[in-house]
Amino acid sequence: MDKVVQSAVEAVADIPDGATLAVGGFGLCGIPSVLIRALLDSGVQDLEVVSNNCGVDDWGLGLLLQAGRIRRIVASYVGENKEFARQYLAGELEVELTPQGTLAERLRAGGSGIAAFYTRTGVGTLVASGGLPWRYSPDGSVLVSSPPKPVETFTVRGVAHEFVREEAITADYALVRAARGDRHGNLVFHSSARNFNPLCAAAGAVTIAEVEELVPVGSLDPDSIHLPGIFVDRVVALSPDEATDKRIERRTVA
């Protein structure tokens, strides 16, 4: 039951080239920055990443992107990362842009064993009909575009609406960051870090969590646990310096 490993390096050592990763966080909030750095140092490449966004140019997933380690990303937000936009427009990176709520639900479905679901989000747009550019050619033409998705009509509260079918997302590995965790892998997230971290954790076949504070088993109030340890395979306890090394994505001052 003790899932604690000695270092982030050890925790990610078996992640192979070509793996699919679900990476938690929202902007730069709650991102597993220590695990990402260890993954960068491991030399792993050709990764497919599922995450709300791709960090910034010098932090988070942006480090893997700058090093050319990411082949494809499924995300809902491109902003704040100039290298992300450059690689996408230059045809160096395949990008599946997904509405944010749909991305969250696709991850939740994957973690729950649900193969697909229907949503009204995207009906009447290229999300449903296909044609969104996933990868460009160097000359600017579209090399790979999104396929059309099934659309069906359902009656809700007596009114017929069209819904688009979205498939669940699962990943070979999930990397997440929690404010507190115990040796059994029970995790508590702080505020906005709870947005995508639990969903990514559940969607991963092997889930690795870095925790800012490792607490004794039994000290967490069961009603306060956001993610049960059944979803977590490895726990990395951060040092005080690692736990407090956080970036602000956009600083606004008066």
What confidence category does residue 190 fall into, taking pLDDT thresholds of 50, 70 and 90?
A: very high
Which sequence spans correspond to the domains of the chain?
4-63+170-244
Residue 94, pLDDT score:
98
Report pLDDT for 247. Answer: 84
Summary mean pLDDT of the chain? 96
Question: Is pLDDT above 80 for 79?
Answer: no
Instruction: Check residue 145 and give its pLDDT.
Output: 97
pLDDT of residue 250: 78
User: If you average pLDDT over residues 33-60, what whole number do you get?
Assistant: 95
Segment 73-92 mean pLDDT: 91
Beta-carbon neighbour count of residue 98 at 10 Å? 24
0.85 exceeded by the pTM?
yes
Calculate mean pLDDT across residues 140-163.
Answer: 97
The pLDDT value recorded for residue 1 is 85
How many residues would you count in the chain? Answer: 254
Q: What is the pLDDT, as a whole number, of residue 16?
A: 98
Least confident range of 30-34, 79-83, 128-132, 213-217: 79-83
18-40 residue pLDDT tens? 999 999 998 889 999 999 999 99
Cα–Cα distance measured from residue 243 to residue 188, given in angstroms and rounded to the nearest whole number: 14
C-alpha span between 150 and 157 (Å, rounded): 22
Q: How many CA atoms lie within 13 A of 28 on its CB side?
A: 18
The H or E element spanning position 165 is strand 159-167
For residue 128, pLDDT beyond 80: yes
CB-count exposure of residue 118 (10 Å: 0-12, 13-18, 19+)? middle
Domain 4-63+170-244 has CATH 3.30.1330.10: no
